[in-house]
Chain A
Amino acid sequence: MTFASIFVPNFLLQAAVRTEPALRERGLALIDGNPPLSTVVAIDETAAQLGIEIGMTKTDAEQFAGVEVRPRVPMQEKIAHAALLDIGWSISPRLEDTAQDAIVLDLSGLSSLFGAEQAIGARLAERLKACGLRGNVAIATNIETARIAARGFAGITVISPGEESPSLSELPVSALSPSVETAGVFSRWGVTTCADLAHLPILDLSERLGQQGVYLHELARGAFARSLVIAEPAHSFQEELELDDAVEELEPLSFLLGRLLDQLCARLTARSLGAAAIRVHCNLQPSFENTVEVFQTHQRPGEYDTEMQLPVPVCDSKLLLKLLRLRLQLNPPDAPIQKITLTADAARPRVTEGSLFSPSFPDPEKLELTIARLVHVVGEGNVGSPSLTDTYRPGDFEMRDFRIPREASPTKRGRDRARRTAEERGNCTIPASFRVFRPAVPATLHFGAGSPVRAAFQGLRGEVRAASGPWRTSGDWWQEDSWQQDEWDLEIHFQEAGERSNPGIYRFYYDSLGRGWFVRGVYD
């Protein structure tokens, strides 16, 4: 048996550079983490020479001239890994997906096809290069030796049978990836290389480090044999389309999306799955606006992402397309699209049957579509179930996702009983219901002796017969949208005749920050 292992050193950086070879010419540092505390996670040689270190903050790294500081893009890494797998599969169908930056191939029987080990190594290196990656290739008669040698030695290494131990002898024991605890023991023992470890008596080592000791000892001697864990061909339900000419309009985009969704749904159907969520990732044509970094935003410049959670797994490409179209119409990318990646989170489709006696609810798929249409009309964040928030900010509420209620709401009798109990206890209850004007209506209020006397709004004028207030609230002083308001409840008799000529009780407020009077609503 012969195995080849490919290892891509500094994988994060290589994944980033792969699509932009020009970056190789200058220093590059990749950062990760939430702004403003992003830290450097990968650097190239130039950056290292200039003094940048892994773990530095973005601000520190940016002080080095001649180094480009960029955020890490996990998608690039995923694609680079997929490319690595592709390279493996292009040589051998028997492949192990060992790590993000490493794979192992079974080369048995391939010599007649590709030549000797050295030739296979060279071919692998060549394909790596063609895919924009630089890596080490090691070939040996056992998997682990190949894997360790690929990590430890640059270029192409071919280890002949029987030469495993001497070949690995100079490598540091850290190349064997021991556990932290065992690495500590080795460090205390002064065991630094594979040769040091290989020289230790195995029985004694077993007494001290147990099976892990034996395992590492065999690894160090290149004597550990195991079978390959064959990787299944890709199961990620992802479709990607890179365009020669960027798409600007929705119609052609819908056509492309439709194509991708058809493929995606076909794959899902073949495996009896549905999509529980669809993610769209678009690479946009660079523009000046997009290069400005936004503080703590989810959108990276030059990219567009949107995600659609579905109430039940869906496998209908037409329905998905409608939903996606609505989503994109509502929140379109702000630059032409260069590349589209669609990813589906797969889930088992719904198999339950509705009860004969349970109330009839709308079909979840149709409901989702209706909600999406409503969102399109009224805007994101404006559809759902309103819910009060824990704040003194008048009228504040939040929208939660609409879900069909499982329990019936309290009956009128129940509500009446609750109100009577509260009244008996002398609690402060507002007997009338209150109709809120959204948005609030601008108003004018005239004061006399510290109390409002006349009010006007929406062309109506009236005299204040009774006033209660001011009721003062303020808060969120630590945020941009702090508020400070004085509310008055006013009973107003309108001067004009008509529908509104009856006296009404209104709630007015003065916005101290916006400096203006408004009507918040009316008591019914």
Chain B
Amino acid sequence: MYIELHARSAFSFLEGASVPEELVGLCAERGMPALALLDRDGVYGAPRFYGAAKKHSVRAHVGAEVTSTAGWRYVLLVQSRAGYQNLCRLITQTKLRAKKGEGQVRPEEMAERGGGLICLTGGQEGPLAYALAKGGIEQGVQAVEELCRIFGRENVYVELQRHFCREEEAHNQAAVRIARTLKLPLLATNGVSFARPQQREVLDVFTCIRHHQTLLTAGRLLCSNSERYFKTHEEMSQLFLDLPEAIANTEILSSRLHFTLNDLGYQFPIYPVPDGESQMHFLRQRTLEGRIRRYGPENERAREQVDRELALIEKLHLAGYFLIVWDIVRFCREKNILVQGRGSAANSAVCYSLGITAVDPVGMDLLFERFLSEERGEWPDIDLDLPSGDQRERAIQYVYQRYGKLGAAMTANVITYRGRSAAREIGKALSLDPETLDRLAALVGSWEYKDPNDTLERQFHDAGLDIQHRKIRNFLELCHAVQDLPRHLGQHSGGMVVCQGQLDSVVPLEPATMPGRVVVQWDKEDCADMGIVKIDLLGLGMMAVLEESLHLIRERYADEIDLGHLPQDDPAVYTALEKADTVGMFQVESRAQMSCLPRLQPKCFYDIVVQVAIIRPGPIVGNMVHPYLKRRQGREQPEYLHPSLEPVLKRTLGVPLFQEQLLRMAMIAAGFTGGEAEELRRAMGFKRSQTRMREIEVKLRRGMTAKGIIGETQEHIVQSITSFALYGFPESHAASFALIAYASAWLKCHYLAAFTAAMLNQQPMGFYRPATLVKDAQRHGLRLKPIDVTRSDWKCTLEKISAGFAVRVGMCYIKGLRQEIALEIVRQRKIDRFESIEDLKQRVPDIQKVELTALAEVGALNFLSNRQGFHRRDALWQVERAARRPGPLLETPEASLRTDRAEERNGTPNQSPAIEQSPLLRMTDEERLVADFRGTGMTVGPHPMAYRRTEMKKLGIRTAIELKKLPDGAYVQVAGAVIARQRPGTAKGFVFLSLEDETGIANAILTPQLFERDHATIVHNQFLLIEGALQNQENVISVKAQRVKPLTISRAEPPSHDFH
């Protein structure tokens, strides 16, 4: 039986066109017992290859093509674990000393790490072909002898490939002669680069991308034919009829390759504990201290739960893992870095006691098994939320420093070809001109929802493109074919893996683009599949906001806030939530959340947990939102899908909302074991498991039928479970998020100035643009002061005013102003105040004219003059001169004098030189608005709508706030700046618009027909007038649009958040 021992997958990044699963699928389909995957310079695809092979009972041989310094590639197959470790170390060694994506192995390194590896002489890129081309048979013999010296004669095979090429056959003849001379075995392979012949087109396009060519210019870089596909035993035997031993040897060699990926030899690091103590004892001590602190000494339920968990942790030898996570959390606390565990860790009382999580699982009765179970056989998942930015980086660097460069690494993020990236690169390969390419790229995934009438043909026609044109047709087919194929290796945002000893012997490491970071060749799912423990250190914008708010409160209000001890039932928070007054609040600020809040009427913390979880595609698609709300309002009695499920669903009134509930439902209704439930959970977790979900569905139905749950009930249960497939929210995760949501709401209600400043400083984040956050804060009574070079810092700051604090907008909001210039302005200002624009220009000489202009245009230089009425245009007038200063020789005596004075400041109060009045007119309100939005993306002055209110009133246009007082069904007109346009995939083509005026935000719902009709008006206008019937149901107010008209309010362009 022929066994393919030289196949490349798409994980050879642009040198292969099929995913490993496809290759394995074909292998199994043809009854071939084994397959070897040899990707270029890595084992990137190995876990997926191994996983698929295991499923199909195919033996997965691991190997790689490793680039030598001479440019050819060693073709290596792993024979034993030692060989695998050698391969990983070899790749790591070469990668870490080179730039990202490069690296070549030196002969001496290969000689050192050749043990446990089998070497093939390779195809066209192998050492033999290279030597033959360079020096004929003689050099060919030498090259093979060199391989024998490195790997041992018994570990070298002379490889033959036949792709119906004349030159290749000439090499083959030479190779056979060499093999006969040196008495080495022959080995037939097909040097597979794609699974099926038609995928050659994808490979050709990849070749163009790799060589920065187009199909027209790539010439003989492309494939000469389509023969590098996965061939059957019969096809290969036919090809090698004259050399049957080359086929027979594939089976012999396969039987020599003992290594599989379940033999990785991975060990989790041991946490260093004081002498004489075991890790478990140390963990018990820390947990006990924490439990007493969290629950008090008397809480029996907590004690029992903690003991139960500790017993399991001990049994599973996981004490070290908990201690390592605890250690990271402890480091963060010491360094004042806000940290909170999320994910299933929140189900653990031990995590709660250790301070890793902030949700009390005992009080909330959370399912511990969701976090850790004996059956699962994998590491528990602990994710830590950290403030995004520098603070998270500090935590990551701590882990590197603690476990060494080769003991810790980031997990990879395999970037795949999707949407626009695929479109652009394929378009270039097809020589589409840039303009066509822009149009095609713009067509890809523009809006989330696709109208059923919105066919591809129509979209192309609308964009002025002819779908019948061959180039366009090729483009579409190729875009489809490359979808989800790996493109390159990125770095996961926060997933880290750690290892006892040398991580580089488990998986090759590579340098990341970010200096000081290394990345493993596998993504986080692959790491989990391979049983490597990972810790997610995730950056969360809101954590950064909370941290900065606390810092500002401590510094300016002199109040010390402990987020862990916030008042639990703060009425202000719940009032704001009930009224959906939640702009800026974590997870509850979106339009969908706002339309649910008045119905759900949160009264306690658990309500927030439900609120966070309910507005998710899972519950929405599963039609679970409305039943829950009705039952909560008492308009419907709780009903259970089956009486046996009542204990599981009671808390959510019979409606399954959380992942844990679905797992329990599967366990109760279908008799799933913990392991099976876990399989279900993993299938829910990520996208590539659609097929797995279908298989589980079959199992679910079988289990339920066995338990007598049939018919409609079975259908409902199955639907509930499968609709969560991709978007289910675990309760513990929702609870962790709810805590942050509560904290953000509490800070907004009680320290609005600090919260707003922090929000503005952490942009971009959240649902709304800064312009909306500013207007919302102003409506809540906060005073925002404009940017002023004499007062503003780079970031937004707090200024004491008679009634508390105002926010001074930071210079970071000035578009085009460099941070170092702003910091220099602040530094100079601290030395002495600026006397004039010229003075500023002299003392901050690196400031460019565009920067000075940007400052002047938004009024940031208005305060440099003592003259009353000095306005933006005066500043612009001065700037133009200051920016054009003559050289020192031609400087006027007055200017030199000023310079001298500036240099010899002695602390005496300065007298401002008389500032020349400009002949320019002051900006009008409209001009100021335009300048504000253009220069900073927002305005702290009146809302653009406010200037036109009188006119609007005459037209009968209502303000957003007035809508609340109008009855349901009233025909209204509303107008405002569009701040959000949404067309969610779950809304059947309906479009949701949010219009902002000076009184608040009005929401409008547009039917698909209306959107279709007035598409251009809706999408391209900043200000809209919407007419329609008012819907006021349970205090959720929206206008059901019947007409949409563009409005000319201002030339200013308030930014809008459009969700595609």
Interface positions of A (Cβ within 8 A of B) = 33-34, 36-37, 57-60, 185, 188-191, 199-201, 204, 207-210, 295, 389-392, 424-428, 450, 469-475, 477-480, 484, 486
Bound Cα distance A60, B464 (Å)? 7
Bound Cα distance A185, B853 (Å)? 9
**Knowing that A36-B466, A190-B927, A478-B201 are A-B contacts, what are 5 other residue pairs whose CB atoms are under 8 Å apart, sorted by A's residue number?**
A37-B433, A190-B873, A207-B881, A428-B171, A484-B225
Bound Cα distance A34, B135 (Å)? 51
A429 to chain B, nearest CB (A): 9
Asked whether any CB of chain A lies closer than 8 Å to the CB of B70, the reply is: no
Bound Cα distance A10, B1025 (Å)? 35
Within 8 A of A (CB), among B449-478: 461, 463-466, 469-471, 474
Q: Which residues of B contact A200 (CB under 8 A)?
A: 919
A188 in contact with B881 (CB, 8 Å): no
Q: Which residues of A contact B470 (CB under 8 A)?
A: 478-480
B461 in contact with A424 (CB, 8 Å): no
Select B164's contact among A190, A389, A470, beta carbons within 8 Å.
Answer: A470
Bound Cα distance A46, B857 (Å)? 40
B876 in contact with A188 (CB, 8 Å): yes
Asked whether any CB of chain A lies closer than 8 Å to the CB of B226, the reply is: yes
A34 in contact with B201 (CB, 8 Å): no
B170 in contact with A428 (CB, 8 Å): yes
A37-B853 in contact given A199-B919, A474-B226 (Cβ < 8 Å): no
Q: Which residues of A contact B253 (CB under 8 A)?
A: none
Q: Which residues of B contact A425 (CB under 8 A)?
A: 134-136
Bound Cα distance A425, B220 (Å)? 23
Bound Cα distance A469, B136 (Å)? 23
Asked whether any CB of chain A lies closer than 8 Å to the CB of B710, the reply is: no
A36 in contact with B136 (CB, 8 Å): no
Asked whether any CB of chain A lies closer than 8 Å to the CB of B176, the reply is: no
Asked whether any CB of chain A lies closer than 8 Å to the CB of B920, the reply is: yes
B132 in contact with A36 (CB, 8 Å): no
Q: Which residues of A contact B136 (CB under 8 A)?
A: 424-427
Q: Which residues of B contact A36 (CB under 8 A)?
A: 436, 464-466, 469
Q: Which residues of B contact A391 (CB under 8 A)?
A: 219-220
A59 in contact with B464 (CB, 8 Å): yes
Bound Cα distance A390, B137 (Å)? 28
Within 8 A of A (CB), among B494-542: none
Most chain A Cβ neighbours within 10 Å, of B222, B439, B470, B474: B222
Bound Cα distance A455, B174 (Å)? 31
B873 in contact with A208 (CB, 8 Å): no
Select B215's contact among A188, A478, A486, beta carbons within 8 Å.
Answer: A478
Query: Which partner residue on chain B sits nearest A189 by CB separation?
Result: B920
A58 in contact with B464 (CB, 8 Å): yes
B166 in contact with A428 (CB, 8 Å): yes
A392 in contact with B224 (CB, 8 Å): yes
Within 8 A of A (CB), among B171-220: 171, 174, 200-201, 204, 215, 219-220
A471-B873 in contact given A36-B436, A392-B224 (Cβ < 8 Å): no
Bound Cα distance A354, B164 (Å)? 54
A473 in contact with B167 (CB, 8 Å): no
B166 in contact with A188 (CB, 8 Å): no
Bound Cα distance A471, B165 (Å)? 5
Bound Cα distance A185, B466 (Å)? 44
Query: Which partner residue on chain A sits nearest B214 by CB separation?
Result: A478
Contact bitstring B424-462, A, C-beta under 8 A = 1, else 0: 000000100101100100000000000000000000010
A65 to chain B, nearest CB (A): 17
Within 8 A of A (CB), among B859-896: 873, 876-877, 880-881, 884
The 4 A-B pairs with the shortest beta carbon distances in the complex, nearest first, are: A426-B136, A390-B219, A59-B464, A57-B464
Bound Cα distance A389, B923 (Å)? 65
A426-B433 in contact given A59-B461, A390-B220, A478-B470 (Cβ < 8 Å): no
B853 in contact with A471 (CB, 8 Å): no
A-B contact list, 5 entries, CB within 8 Å: A37-B435, A59-B465, A188-B853, A425-B134, A426-B140
Bound Cα distance A522, B50 (Å)? 52
Within 8 A of A (CB), among B1009-1035: none
Q: Which residues of B contact A191 (CB under 8 A)?
A: 920
B1017 to chain A, nearest CB (A): 13
A204-B919 in contact given A36-B436, A474-B225, A477-B201 (Cβ < 8 Å): yes
Q: Which residues of A contact B200 (CB under 8 A)?
A: 477
A190 in contact with B923 (CB, 8 Å): yes
A427-B166 in contact given A201-B919, A472-B225 (Cβ < 8 Å): no
Most chain B Cβ neighbours within 10 Å, of A185, A469, A471: A471
B231 to chain A, nearest CB (A): 13
Query: Which partner residue on chain B sits nearest A422 by CB separation?
Result: B136
A315 to chain B, nearest CB (A): 40
Select A34's contact among B138, B222, B433, B921, beta carbons within 8 Å.
Answer: B433
Select B877's contact among A208, A473, A486, beta carbons within 8 Å.
Answer: A208
A478 in contact with B471 (CB, 8 Å): yes
B200 to chain A, nearest CB (A): 8
Q: Which residues of B contact A59 (CB under 8 A)?
A: 461, 464-465
Query: Which partner residue on chain A sits nearest B177 by CB separation?
Result: A426
Asked whether any CB of chain A lies closer than 8 Å to the CB of B41, the reply is: no
B225 in contact with A473 (CB, 8 Å): yes
Bound Cα distance A188, B164 (Å)? 70
A207 in contact with B464 (CB, 8 Å): no
Within 8 A of A (CB), among B45-90: none
Bound Cα distance A29, B474 (Å)? 32
Q: Which residues of A contact B165 (CB under 8 A)?
A: 471-472
Q: Which residues of A contact B439 (CB under 8 A)?
A: 37
Contact bitstring B132-150, A, C-beta under 8 A = 1, else 0: 1111111010000000000
Bound Cα distance A191, B171 (Å)? 78
Q: Which residues of A contact B465 (CB under 8 A)?
A: 36, 59
Q: Which residues of B contact A34 (CB under 8 A)?
A: 433
Select A208's contact among B167, B469, B880, beta carbons within 8 Å.
Answer: B880
Asked whether any CB of chain A lies closer than 8 Å to the CB of B227, the reply is: yes
Bound Cα distance A204, B133 (Å)? 76
A190-B920 in contact given A424-B136, A477-B201 (Cβ < 8 Å): yes
B869 to chain A, nearest CB (A): 16
A471-B201 in contact given A207-B881, A478-B471 (Cβ < 8 Å): no
Select B881's contact among A37, A208, A428, A480, beta carbons within 8 Å.
Answer: A208
B464 in contact with A37 (CB, 8 Å): yes
Query: Which partner residue on chain B sits nearest A472 by CB separation?
Result: B164
A471 in contact with B166 (CB, 8 Å): yes
A189 in contact with B876 (CB, 8 Å): yes
Bound Cα distance A47, B763 (Å)? 45
A6 to chain B, nearest CB (A): 35
Bound Cα distance A364, B430 (Å)? 41
B624 to chain A, nearest CB (A): 44
Query: Which partner residue on chain A sits nearest B429 by CB separation?
Result: A478
A478-B474 in contact given A37-B433, A208-B884 (Cβ < 8 Å): yes
Query: Which partner residue on chain A sits nearest B886 by CB separation?
Result: A207
A186 to chain B, nearest CB (A): 10
Query: Which partner residue on chain A sits nearest B923 by CB separation?
Result: A190
B225 in contact with A426 (CB, 8 Å): no
B880 to chain A, nearest CB (A): 4
A382 to chain B, nearest CB (A): 23
B880 in contact with A475 (CB, 8 Å): no
A39 to chain B, nearest CB (A): 9
B436 in contact with A37 (CB, 8 Å): yes
B220 in contact with A189 (CB, 8 Å): no
Query: Which partner residue on chain A sits nearest B434 by CB separation?
Result: A37
Q: Which residues of A contact B170 (CB under 8 A)?
A: 428
Bound Cα distance A142, B144 (Å)? 88
A338 to chain B, nearest CB (A): 32
Bound Cα distance A450, B877 (Å)? 89
Bound Cα distance A207, B204 (Å)? 61
Query: Which partner residue on chain B sits nearest A34 by CB separation?
Result: B433
A405 to chain B, nearest CB (A): 25
Query: Which partner residue on chain B sits nearest A61 by CB separation?
Result: B464
Query: Which partner residue on chain A sits nearest B430 by CB separation?
Result: A478
Most chain B Cβ neighbours within 10 Å, of A58, A199, A427, A480: A427
Bound Cα distance A361, B307 (Å)? 103
